[in-house]
A and B are shown apart, each in its own frame.
Chain A
Amino acid sequence: MMARLPRRGLAQILALVIILAVDRMVSPQFFDLRLQDGRLFGSMIDVLNRGAPVALLSLGMVLVIATRGIDLSVGAVMAIAGAIAASLADSHSLPLVLAAALGTGLVCGLWNGFLVAVLGIQPIIATLILMVAGRGIAQLITEGRIVTFTSPDLGWFGTGAIFGLPAPVVIVAGMLLLTGALVRGTALGLLIEATGGNARASELAGVGTRLMIVAVYAWCGLCAALAGIISAADIMGADANNAGLWLELDAILAVVIGGTSLFGGRFSLLLAVVGALIIQAMNTGILLSGYPPELNLLVKAVVVLAVLLLQSPRLAGWVGLASRLTGAKA
C-alpha cells in the first residue's frame, strides 16, 4: 500500500510540474521570490495563497467523497461563516469570533451528516438544501450588505505571515497535517474508506458507518468555515453574495483531479491539495499570460475531461484488453 502511493500520485504531480513549467514559460519571473516587510512575495507564493480556500475545502470534501458522498453546501457555509466572523469581529474578542464562525460551520456539517446518515437522503440532494438556503442565511446575517471590519486580529488570517509565509498557506499546511494525523495516524481513514467501498458490508463488519458519515460532513463543514474566515479576512469584509460562490465545484474538481473516485473508497488528502494547487496554478497562469480570463473555464473543462477519461474504469478495461490482445506481458 505504502509502496503504491508514490506511483498513484505520479500523474497529478507530473501535471502540476507541467502546468508550473508552462507558467514559467508564460511569465519568466514566475519562480522569483522576494522578501518584503517580513513576508515572501512572488507568483509561486500567490498560487499557494490564492489556492488556500479551495485547498481547505478539498481537505473536507475528499473525506466526504471517500464515503461515497458529496457536499454541495461548502460554498454557502463559507459565506455564512464569513458573514458571522465579519459581523462579530469589531465587537467581540478573537477567540469568540473564531469559535462562533467555526461552530456554525460544524453545525452546518452536522446538519448535512444528519440528513445523509440518519434520514438516508442522497448526499447531492441533502447538501443542495443548505446550498440553496445557506446563501440566503448568510445574506440574512449581513442584511444584504457587504459587512466590513477593521479588527487586525481577524485580518491576520487573510494577510498575516508566519516565517515569511502567508497565514492562509500555513493554515492549510496545519490542517493538512492535522487531518492526516487524524485519519492516517488512527484507523479512522481505513474505516472511512470501508464505509465508501461498501457501506452495508462495513456495517455488518462492525464499522459505525453512520457515525463515520456524520463525522466527515462535520469535518467538511469545519474546513469550509475556516476557508470562509480566510476569505473574509482577506478582503476585511464579508460579501454574502459572492463569498465562496461556485467554490464547491472547484473543491470537488480538486478532489477528482487528486484521483479520489466519486464512487467512494480509497482517498488521498495530499493529492486533493495538489489538485487544488493544479487548479490555482492554471488560473494564475492564464492571468499572467494576458489571455482573457474567460479562457479559464474552457481550460478547466478540458482538464476535467482529460482527468476523468484517464480514471475511467471502462477506458482502463479497454487498454487492458488491447495490451492482452497484442500479447504484452500482464
Chain B
Amino acid sequence: MKGLPPVVITAIVLVAGFAICAMQYPNIASTRVVGNLLTDNAFLGIVATGMTFVIISGGIDLSVGSVIGFTTVFVAIAIERLGVPPWLAFVATLVLCTAFGAAMGGIIHLFDLPPFIVTLAGMFLARGASFLLSTESIPINAPVYSTVSDFALRLPGGGRLTAIAIIMLAVIVAGALLLHLTRFGANVYALGGSRATTALMGIPVGSMTVRIYMLSSALSGLAGIVFSFYTAAGYSLSAVGVELDTIAAVVIGGTLLTGGQGTVVGTFLGILIQGLIQTYITFDGTLSSWWTKIVTGILLFAFIALQQAIIVLARRSAVRKGAKP
C-alpha cells in the first residue's frame, strides 16, 4: 500500500473538521465539549470495536443494535424487578450475549450461510426477545448507577472524563492490542484476506469465525450495559439502527468492507467524526438533525470512493510490476 493509508486520511479529515468547527465556534475546542463527545458516543465506540473485527474478517454483524436494546432491558429487569445484584446481572448479560454470538458464528460456519442473513435473523431475535421482556421503559435506581454516573476525572479546563468514556477508551486500547499484536488478530486479517487460503494455512477457520462473532456480541452486551448507565433505564426500543451508525463509522475509519484491512484506531476516529458532526449541528442550532444523516452519507461515499481508488491504483501497479520481468 503506497501513499497515505486510509487511517491517516481519516485523521486528517477529523483534525480539519475539528479546526473548521472550532474556528466558527471557539467553544468547541474545550475539554468540556470533547469530554461530552466521548461520553455521548461511549457505547458506539465499544460496539464499533467489535464490528471492526467482524468486518476485517470479511463478515458483518447486523444484530448489534438489537443486542444493546436487549441488554438494557435484561439488566433493568434483573436489577429492578428480580433484585439481582448489579454485578451478577452484568456477568449474566455478558455470558448470554457471548453465547448468542457463538451461536450466530456457529451457524454461519457450519451451514456456510451468508453472515448478512444470519445476523439479520439474530437482529430480529434479539429485538423480539427484548420486546417480550418488556415494552416499557424501566428506570434503574440501583446505587451503583448513580455512583458510576457521578464518577468522573476532572480534565483541565473544566471537562469531565466520565466512567463510561473511560470504559470505551479502555476497550479501544484493548481491541487495538488484540487486533495488532496477537495471533488472534493476525488470523482475523488472514480470514478477511482469503478464507480458503487461511484454511489451507492450517488456521481453524470455524473456531475463528465463532470467536469473532462472540467478541462482537460480547462487546455489544458491554455497550448495552454502558448505554444503561448513560440513560439509567432499560428500554426495548433503545439503539434501533445503531448497526448502521457502527458500520458507517468503521468504513469512515478506513476499514475495507471486503475484509482484510482496517484498524481499531481508525474506527475510533470514525466515531469521533460522526460525533463531531452531531456536536456541530447542536452548536449551530439552526441546522436540522437530518443533516447528520446526509453529511454521514456524503462522508461514507467519499471514503468508499477513496478506498476504491486506492485498490484500483494498487492493482494497476501490481499488473505493471508483473508485466516487466
**Chain A interfacial positions (CB closer than 8 Å to B):** 70, 119-122, 124-126, 128-137, 139-140, 143-144, 240, 249, 252-253, 256, 262-263, 292, 294-302, 304-305, 308-309, 312-315
Interface of B is mostly: helix
Q: B248 interface residue, CB < 8 Å from A?
A: yes
| A128-B244, A308-B111 known; A297 vs B127 contact (CB < 8 Å) | yes
A308 touches B258 (CB 8 A): no
19 further A-B contacts with Cβ under 8 Å, apart from A132-B297, A133-B294, are A119-B305, A120-B312, A124-B116, A132-B248, A133-B297, A136-B294, A139-B288, A139-B289, A143-B288, A240-B290, A262-B114, A292-B132, A294-B131, A294-B132, A297-B127, A301-B122, A304-B121, A308-B111, A314-B111
**B308 pairs with A119, CB closer than 8 A:** yes
Asked if residues A136 and B124 are in contact (CB atoms below 8 Å), the reply is no
Contact A122 B297 (CB under 8 A): no
Q: Which interface residue of B121, B289, B291, B294 has the most chain A CB atoms within 10 A?
A: B121
Chain B residue with Cβ nearest A253: B120
B128 to A294, Cβ gap below 8 A? Answer: yes
Say yes or no: B300 contacts A128, CB within 8 Å: yes
Query: Binding site of A, secondary structure by majority: helix, strand, loop or mixed?
Result: helix
* A136 touching B292 in the complex, CB below 8 Å, given contacts A70-B116, A294-B135, A312-B113: yes
Docked-complex contact B304 and A297, CB < 8 angstroms? no
Q: Kindly identify which residue among A129, A301, A313 contacts B297, using a CB–CB cutoff of 8 Å.
A: A129
Choose among A129, A130, A312 the residue that contacts B111 (Cβ–Cβ < 8 A).
Answer: A312
Q: In the assembled complex, how far is the CB of residue B55 from the closest CB belonging to chain A, in whole angstroms?
A: 10
Tell me the bound Cα distance from A253 to B291 in angstroms. Answer: 30
Number of interface residues of B (CB under 8 A): 44
Residue of A nearest to B245 (CB): A132
CB-nearest residue of chain B to A296 = B128
Chain B residue with minimal CB distance to A139? B290
- CA–CA, A256 and B122, complex, Å: 16
Q: Which residues of A contact B180 (CB under 8 A)?
A: none
Those 7 A-B pairs whose CB atoms lie nearest each other, nearest first: A133-B297, A136-B293, A297-B128, A294-B131, A139-B290, A298-B128, A301-B124
With contact pairs A294-B131, A295-B132, A312-B112 given, residues A304 and B308 touching in the complex (Cβ less than 8 Å): no
Interface string of B114-149 (1 = CB under 8 A from A): 101110111111011101100100000000000000
The B215-245 residues at the A interface (CB cut-off 8 A) are 244
A106 vs B113: C-alpha distance when bound (angstroms):
32
Are A304 and B117 in contact, CB atoms less than 8 angstroms apart?
yes
* Cross-chain contact B244 with A301 (CB below 8 angstroms): no
Contacts A133-B294, A140-B290, A262-B114; A124 near B60 (Cβ below 8 A)? yes
B289 contact set on A, CB distance < 8 A: 139, 144
When the two chains form their complex, are residues B124 and A132 in contact, meaning their CB atoms are under 8 A apart? Answer: no
A249 to nearest B CB, angstroms? 6
Q: Is B313 an interface residue (CB 8 A)?
A: no
Interface check B278, CB cutoff 8 A: no
B257 at the interface (CB under 8 A from A): yes
A132 touches B244 (CB 8 A): yes
A-B contact pairs, 19 of them (CB 8 A): A122-B257, A125-B257, A125-B304, A132-B297, A132-B300, A133-B298, A136-B293, A139-B290, A249-B123, A253-B120, A294-B135, A297-B127, A298-B124, A298-B129, A300-B128, A301-B124, A302-B125, A305-B107, A309-B111
Min Cβ gap B164→A in Å is 25
Residues in B288-325 with C-beta less than 8 Å from chain A: 288-294, 296-298, 300-301, 304-305, 308, 312
In the complex, chain B residues whose CB is within 8 Å of the CB of A135: 290, 293
B110 CB-CB contact with A under 8 Å? yes
Point out the residues of chain B lying under 8 angstroms from A252, CB to CB: 117, 120
Closest to A134 in B: B297
